[in-house]
Structure 1
Amino acid sequence: MTRYVSSCFITLFVLFLWRVEDIADACKCSPPHPQKAFCDAEIVIRAKVVGKKAVSNAIKYDIQQIKMFKCPDQVIHAIFTAPSPAACGVTLDLNKEYLFTGKLETGRMYVTLCGYNPPWEDLSAAQKNSLTHRYQSGCDCKIIHCTSLPCPISTTDACLWMDWGTNNSQNLACIKSNGSCAWK
């Protein structure tokens, strides 16, 4: 009988370790460059959060849309996100304005922790200006995030992003000019 109990205990322990690893890997991502987030998003808006409600497997934030930057002819009244940061859900403050970059699914806007959804007041003047004037024109360029040296770049349609602990390149846009992309 002890051999049976021991075998069951080992099996349960292995299953437990397997599940812990799944839970630990729940939401992993590095913050995107604002232009990359803009170009990858289906919809980009500035909005004020005015309400919050838990709805089947999601959090619904009621918003007042202030400005549409991408996805014309769409009025958004709510933003949906996963119920917790562990599931890549975004936590937002009521009565605060944000820039939201997200996806549309069945007429609903979804945002995640891996997207770019900063408070509006945290954006620099250059970033706010780029939302209407530069980011869209640079969507043909690739932004390659370099996390350690060396960072080789072998194409002319890309900009190397080496923003280690500073916000300097967050104020720049990768724009194509004369057949190649460069930070401007």
Structure 2
Amino acid sequence: MDRFHVLCLFILSTVSICIVNGCMCDFSRRPDKVCMADFVLKAKILREDLDFGEYGDFPIQKNYTVLYKKRGIFKGSRLLGSGNTAVIQTSGTPWNCGTTFELNKKYLISGFESDGSFFTNICQWNPEYNTVLSTRRREIRKTCRDQSGLRENDI
């Protein structure tokens, strides 16, 4: 009977930890995450707007206004359109998978699009741009192009 109680306690603890943490990411490799993303771009963070909703204690959403150049789009140029700014949304808290960017820094941001809005989270790959080696950046462009079957202009 002791083993049964220990097993039950272990299962309950595991389930409780998963529920409390709230955010769980899959274990995809970095190239797979980038290629599964709807968009990947080099962007400078211009502005952060916090939406506190009706409760006001914690932000429920962060909206980042980013500046990008056409040549900085690794993937998703059709989604991003002809402009040079976009608003990228994320959850307001890390326990809901929200990510945080620093103002005036450049990042390689990957994410997904839904109904014309752009989203990212901590499960995506969003490193500071200057930490990504140039060989890695070329590899990302090539890998996404080869796996998707798209032309260079589509990526």
Code of the aligned partner of 1:129? R
TM-aligned CA deviation for residue 122 of structure 1: 1.2
Q: 1:31 to 1:92 in 2, by over 3 A?
A: farther
Aligned pair partner of 2:73 in 68, 77, 83: 68
Stretches of structure 2 lacking an aligned partner (at least 5 in a row): 1-12, 54-59, 150-155
Q: What is the correspondence of 1:6-21 to structure 2 with a 5 Å cutoff?
A: 21=17
Question: What residue number does 2:95 align with?
Answer: 86
TM-aligned CA deviation for residue 77 of structure 1: 1.3
Q: Tell me if structure 1 keeps the 8 A contact 2:43–2:106.
A: yes
Q: Tell me if structure 2 keeps the 8 A contact 1:31–1:116.
A: no
TM-aligned CA deviation for residue 31 of structure 1: 6.0
2:44 matches 1:44: no
Q: After superposition, what is the alpha-carbon deviation per residue over 1:102-150, rounded to whole angstroms, capped at 9, x for unaligned?
A: 110121110011111111011112211113223321358xxxxxxxxxx
TM-aligned CA deviation for residue 25 of structure 1: 3.6
Distance 1:132 1:45 in 2: 11
Give TM-score scaled by structure 1 length: 0.59
Q: 1:124 to 1:32 in 2, by over 3 A?
A: farther
Distance 2:44 2:102 in 1: 9
2:143 matches 1:124: no
Higher normalized helix content (fraction of residues): 2
Code of the aligned partner of 1:45? L
Q: After superposition, what is the alpha-carbon deviation per residue over 1:7-58, rounded to whole angstroms, capped at 9, x for unaligned?
A: xxxxxxxxxx9x9656424112266433101211111111000110112431
Higher normalized strand content (fraction of residues): 1
Give the root-mean-square deviation of aligned CA atoms: 2.3
Q: Tell me if structure 2 keeps the 8 A contact 1:31–1:115.
A: no
Q: What is the correspondence of 1:91-130 to structure 2 with a 5 Å cutoff?
A: 91-130=100-139
2:50 matches 1:54: yes
Distance 1:31 1:21 in 2: 18
The SS at the match of 1:135 is: helix
Distance 2:27 2:88 in 1: 20
Question: What residue number does 2:22 align with?
Answer: 26
